[in-house]
Homo-oligomer: A and B are copies of this chain.
Amino acid sequence: MKDERLLIEQIVRALSAGTGARSRRLRLGIGDDAAVIRPTPEMDWAVSCDQFLEDVHFLANVHAPGSVGYKALARATSDLAAVGAAPRYFLLSLALPDERTSAWLRLFLSGMARAARQLGMILAGGDTSRFPKVAINLTVIGEVESHRAITRSGARSGDLIFVSGTLGGARLGLELVRAAHPARDARWQRFLKPHLYPQPRIGLGRWLAQRQLASAMIDISDGLSTDLGHICEASGVGARVWSSKIPVVRIPRALRREDLDSLALALHGGDDYELLFTVPAKQAHVLGTAFKGLRLTRIGEITKEKRLVLCEASGRERQLKPLGWDPFRTSAGARSRR
């Protein structure tokens, strides 16, 4: 059994690879009791923390350790994208069983290091413990121009609702992982990607914040139906969404099943880490249909009446219930949803 010092050295070595020298603003980092960081003038700090737990958010014997490391950091960083902040530093709390401190840990760290490089994040601290299950907590720190952070509470009646990318792909990937066949088939690898290696929409979030285009924003972690509800509740408004406009994942013919409905995956699947945001109608023309190749779709509008309505292609309207992820409502049998 390696001791804590060796373990920490391994973590620091793995997660510092390729991220260059330590930031000049990071005055103290690993190896002291706290990271000490010099703020950038005229920038506010954005801080968030996110748990990633074995048997709750991932299955240690099913999900490749590299994907667990990658996704843990990517999904945490998505919370910075959701307020329009630029990612800068992260702190990793890692609790591990003995049997995960060798090969599993090496691959886990290598996946997390890849995410850190892609996201431009520097490891600034952490904590390690021994524990019967893998329990990961990521604290992510970013910067956003003063008074430019985008909240959930700024949506106003008449604002238009936009979403980036396509929705439901992460949940489809999870279904493939669960089915085992044909998930192991190389043909389906690309359908697993949104589930295993989500891409937080940093660039889009930064652009919307710097240009002050979005009145409210959230990242889709729980699911469109739940996350749109979060915006509406925080803003004291309602929403009307057109089902035909939602950019749903395409389910390949060979994978179609009766219980796999692309609209349901898109509405409630969650884990997509796309950005859901509202834009005042008179500013909507600035947006266009894509941002640097990332599709932007107008899916509805904010209403004064405080309820969520889904307008179906038939013209029928129905209540859009928040059926996305809720760790404390999900039945025990469906716990390992992700």
Interface bits A139-157 vs B (CB < 8 Å: 1, else 0): 1111010110101110000
Residues of B within 8 A of A329 (CB): 1, 3-4
Q: Mark A13-27, 1 if CB is under 8 A from B, else 0.
A: 000000000000001
| A132 and B141 alpha carbons, distance in the complex (Å) | 29
**By CB atoms of chain B within 10 A, which of A48, A83, A335 has the most?**
A48
A99 at the interface (CB under 8 A from B): no
A85 to B27, CA, bound (A): 13
A278 interface contact, C-beta 8 A: no
Q: Does A101 contact B (CB under 8 A)?
A: yes
User: Is residue A135 contacting chain B, with contact meaning CB distance below 8 A?
Assistant: yes
Contact between chains at A36 and B31 (CB < 8 Å)? no
Known: A36-B83, A38-B44. A128 touches B327 (CB 8 A): yes
In the assembled complex, which residues on chain B have CB atoms less than 8 Å from the CB atom of A28?
A: 46, 83, 149, 151
Are A47 and B124 interface neighbours, CB within 8 A? yes
Assess whether B49 is in contact with A126, with CB atoms less than 8 Å apart. Answer: yes
A261 vs B144: C-alpha distance when bound (angstroms): 54
B residues less than 8 Å from A45 (CB atoms): 35-39, 45
Q: Which of B4, B7, B127, B153 contacts A50 (CB 8 A)?
A: B127
A125 to B327, CA, bound (A): 17
A200 to chain B, nearest CB (A): 11
Q: Cα distance A2–B330 when bound, in Å?
A: 11
Contact: A328 with B46, CB < 8 Å? no
B residues within 8 A CB of A305? none
A82 an interface residue at 8 Å Cβ cutoff?
yes
Q: For the complex formed by this chain, how many copies does it contain in all?
A: 2
> Within A61-110, which residues are at the interface with B (CB < 8 Å)?
78-80, 82-83, 85, 89, 91, 93, 95, 101
Task: Report how far A46 CA is from B7 CA in the complex, Å.
Answer: 23
Q: Are B32 and A152 in contact (CB under 8 A)?
A: yes
Smallest CB-CB separation from A227: which chain B residue? B33
Q: Which residues of B contact A82 (CB under 8 A)?
A: 33-34
Known A-B contacts A139-B139, A329-B4; the reply to A91 vs B27 at CB < 8 A is no
Q: A78 to chain B: which residues have CB within 8 Å?
A: 33
Cα distance A79–B1 when bound, in Å?
27
Known A93-B49, A141-B47: A34·B328 in contact at CB below 8 Å: no
Besides A28-B46, A51-B95, 7 more A-B contacts (Cβ < 8 Å) are A5-B326, A28-B83, A31-B152, A38-B146, A56-B130, A129-B327, A130-B335
The 10 closest A-B pairs by CB, nearest first: A39-B39, A33-B82, A34-B48, A137-B137, A34-B46, A33-B79, A36-B149, A139-B139, A3-B329, A37-B45
B-binding residues in A (CB < 8 A)? 1-5, 7, 27-28, 31-39, 43-51, 53, 55-57, 78-80, 82-83, 85, 89, 91, 93, 95, 101, 124-133, 135, 137, 139-142, 144, 146-147, 149, 151-153, 217-219, 234, 326-330, 335
23 A-B contact pairs sorted by A residue (CB < 8 Å):
A27-B149, A28-B83, A32-B152, A32-B153, A32-B234, A33-B217, A34-B47, A34-B82, A36-B46, A36-B85, A37-B44, A37-B47, A39-B39, A47-B125, A47-B141, A49-B91, A51-B93, A51-B137, A53-B129, A55-B132, A56-B129, A95-B135, A131-B135
